[in-house]
Structure formats: structure tokens, C-alpha cells
Amino acid sequence: MRAATYSIVPAAGDRGVAECVVNYFGPGQGGSIDANVERWKGQILGGDGKPAPAKVTSRMVRGIRITIVDASGTYTGMGGPMAGGKPVDGYRLLGAIAEGRGGNVFFKLTGPDKTIAAEQSRFEQLLSSIQPE
């Protein structure tokens, strides 16, 4: 479940909630990499109401594969547009999944575009600090 939540102070001129959430569900739990990537992609909509284009990359950090999703647009939150939450324009989602032997660890940074841009290097530092068990 949720292992940590970090509140992010909005950049000057930005309004809205920004946070970094870290989840760990245990071995074999939390869904597949592909399912989580698709879910995150579906949480950010473009102007046409369809999932916004997302950049999906992967890299290795100390032998740990990390898959990263980067998308901007209208953020619909956890459950998508049918969950009842009000979608928010001008948001960005940076999500990462670190594949660990004891289970995957999920990192999700969301908030207004400018705030996430200002925090991106810190998010990258967090991912670069991952150590094998």
C-alpha cells in the first residue's frame, strides 16, 4: 500500500495540489508494469478527451529496471473521468516503477505543469538513489 506521501510546494503562479506518492504492495502485487503504465496514461487526457500522448522510457539503476511515464494534460486522478473527481487542466504526471526482487515499488509525482517541471530533477535524484536489497 502507500509507503510515503510527499507534499510538494507549488511553483510561483501555480495553483493546485502537487504530491509524490510511493506505493509498495508486496511480492507479485500491484499489477503488471504494462497495466500500471496504461492506467497512468489514462489518467492524463488531451484536449480531445482521450489519453494524452505519454513518453514511456526505461533505464537501469544499479541493476534495477525502472519504467518511467511522463504525460501532461488534464489530470483525472486515480479512477479516471468516471470516478467522480473533478478533472484538473494543466497538470503533469511523472510515474516510475522500480522492479524489485521483493516486489515492485511505484512512484507517482503529480501536480501543475510548472511545479512538476521544477521538481523533475529531484524526482530523478530519488530514482537514481534506489539500491538493490
pLDDT in tens, 17-26: 899 999 999 8
67: its cell numbers: 519504467
Q: Domain range for residue 65?
A: 32-101+117-128
The answer to whether residue 48 sits within a structural domain is: yes
The answer to whether residue 36 sits within a structural domain is: yes
Give how far Cα 21 sits from Cα of 13, 73, 100, Å.
23, 19, 17
Quote the pLDDT of residue 80: 42
What b/e string do you get for 2-33 counting C-beta neighbours within 10 Å, with b at 16 or more? eeeeeebeebeebeeebebbbbbeeeeebeeb
pLDDT in tens, 26-48: 898 999 999 999 999 999 999 99
Percentage above 90 pLDDT, the chain: 80
The answer to whether residue 71 sits within a structural domain is: yes
The answer to whether residue 82 sits within a structural domain is: yes
pLDDT in tens, 101-131: 889 999 999 999 999 999 999 999 999 999 9
Sequence letter at residue 19: E
The answer to whether residue 3 sits within a structural domain is: no
The answer to whether residue 75 sits within a structural domain is: yes
The answer to whether residue 25 sits within a structural domain is: no
The answer to whether residue 81 sits within a structural domain is: yes
- Mean pLDDT in residue range 74-78: 86
Quote the pLDDT of residue 96: 98
Structural domains counted in the chain: 1
